[in-house]
Structure 1
Amino acid sequence: MALPDPVRRRLGSFSRTVFSDSNRTGPERRGSGGTLDNEIVSSLPLQMSLYFNLYFFPFWWVSSVVMLQLKYPVLPDYYKFILVTVIVLASLIEAIRLYLGYMGNLQEKVPELAGFWLLSLLLQLPIILFVLFNEGLKIQPLERAVHIIFALFLTFQIIAAFLALKRMVNQLAVRFSLNEFDQLNNHPTSDYLSWEKKRVQAPWRVGQNFEEPSPSNIDWESALRA
């Protein structure tokens, strides 16, 4: 299961805009001990958090459903609707969020990890904070405890995913630049000299019959799919 191409393109563009390092002046070569191709940029703390989150979420879900059943008769009608909607939405979002987090972090896929980060920051964390601090929901001690733990998981994952995304996007940018330099270096000097000679001898024909050798550009989106 993969993200649709339009979604991947939008998330890739968003990641390139938000997480790229504007202070980077140019590509940096690694030493002989490591190369860009072998460098691992996945976040171990994020992966550990996702692993424990995966086992914690069923406990959160069961606790929320049990507490909802116990206090359902005393809740106003609109709070009944809100709580049921929150549990359903949080369950759906969490399933998608954890999947994107695992895919994005383990396979170093920027669009998936960016989707995980956005879902955590814009949807899941506000939902959990709403049910945690809204006293009209008649929050029970067990609910408060599991909501606090869930909020801590989300806060840590948002920070860890942000740092991991910055590393991944910057690595892609460096790899993109190095590939362009390698393409330039792979063109023999004689090709350029031959083209320059033809351009001087017959400048009116260069645009028609001769084409300047140029390095092939590597599309950023293809790098994101790698």
Structure 2
Amino acid sequence: MVGAMPGCLGAKAPAELVQPHQHSQGQRCCPHAARQGLPTGSKAGVGGMLGALPSPALPYLAHEVLASLPLQMMLYFNACYFPFWCLGEGMMLQLKYSLLPRYYQLLLLAAFLILTLTEGARLYLGYIGNLQEKVPELAGFLLLSFLIQLPLLLFLLTDDHIIRLPLEMAVHSLFLAFLISEVVAAFLALRVMTTQLAAQFYLQQFTSGGRGRSLIKGDDVGPVPPCGVSSSEGKEH
């Protein structure tokens, strides 16, 4: 039995030892194929799969957030301050209304109504234009600020015949400070947005123009072959 044991061990040893050795040789033979779970010699299959993946032919501009944080903060605080301005201006107008001439009564009442109605539309356009990065809305915000709000506020602050009260001067001065800072921030944000939109437009025209010329010439625009695989190998596969 002692003599048979080495024979038994000798018979089992090759079956237990050779297989791990062969497995290690298989891993050393092609470690990349073992890591990818592909058989050795499947270079054509890897090239075919990589060739089928979409790859951009031209560079593109990544989307960048163009909304202005300072402008958004000033719009928020202006929206919170506007009801207090309406309350203060209405009280001051009621106190001095009977002391004013007839034409100044009409002028101040019209200025108060126009400022109140325009300010709501102006804040709405500013919010939409800044958060959604829309150039027309932001341009409308600037136009309303320059053409309507700023002249009326300067009239209320500088005219000596409207009986300017201290509280009225305080609320108008703060409103004017909000307006000027918003105009400056909106102008800077609008310039950045227009520059970005112009770059995207030129890139889109360049891309569509290149594709159109290739289609007119009848060129076969296929998938771009992967790195390391020549065009002849891609056509064969």
- TM-score class, shorter-chain normalisation, is 0.5 to 0.7
Separation in 2 of the partners of 1:188 and 1:89? Answer: 55
72-81 or 109-118: bigger deviation:
72-81
Aligned residue type for 1:154: L
Unaligned stretches of 5+ in structure 2? 1-58, 220-237
Deviation sequence 1:129-151 (CA, Å, 0-9, x none): 10011111111111001101111
How many residues are aligned here? 161
User: Residue 41 of structure 1: SS of its match in structure 2?
Assistant: coil
- Pairing partner for 2:139 from 114, 134, 143: 114
User: Residue 40 of structure 1: SS of its match in structure 2?
Assistant: coil
Separation in 2 of the partners of 1:176 and 1:70? Answer: 56
Query: Which residues of 2 match residues 19-30 of structure 1 at below 5 A?
Result: none
How far 1:72 sits from its partner (Å)? Answer: 1.4
Deviation sequence 1:30-49 (CA, Å, 0-9, x none): xx9xx644201111111101
Distance 1:85 1:189, change over 3 A: closer
Aligned residue number for residue 19 of structure 1 = none
Matched, 1:163 2:169: no
Distance 1:184 1:150, change over 3 A: same
- Structure with larger Rg: 2
Matched, 1:130 2:155: yes
How far 1:76 sits from its partner (Å)? Answer: 1.2
Aligned residue number for residue 61 of structure 1 = 86
How far 1:181 sits from its partner (Å)? Answer: 1.6
Aligned residue type for 2:94: Q
Distance 1:78 1:179, change over 3 A: same
Aligned residue number for residue 38 of structure 1 = 63
Aligned residue type for 1:168: M
Separation in 2 of the partners of 1:164 and 1:190? Answer: 39
Separation in 1 of the partners of 2:154 and 2:215? Answer: 66
Aligned residue number for residue 10 of structure 1 = none
Aligned residue number for residue 174 of structure 1 = 199
Deviation sequence 1:66-125 (CA, Å, 0-9, x none): 001111121111111111111100011001100100011100111111000000011101
- Pairing partner for 1:139 from 138, 141, 164: 164
Which 4+ runs in 1 deviate beyond 3 A?
184-191
Separation in 2 of the partners of 1:82 and 1:165? Answer: 33
Separation in 1 of the partners of 2:176 and 2:100? Answer: 24
TM-score scaled to structure 2, two decimals?
A: 0.64
Matched, 1:98 2:123: yes
TM-score scaled to structure 1, two decimals?
A: 0.67
User: Residue 124 of structure 2: SS of its match in structure 1?
Assistant: helix
Aligned residue number for residue 25 of structure 2 = none
Matched, 1:74 2:92: no
- Pairing partner for 1:183 from 191, 200, 208: 208
How far 1:186 sits from its partner (Å)? Answer: 3.5
**1:36·1:171 contact (CA, 8 Å) conserved in 2?**
no
- Indicate the RMSD between aligned Cα atoms, in angstroms: 1.8
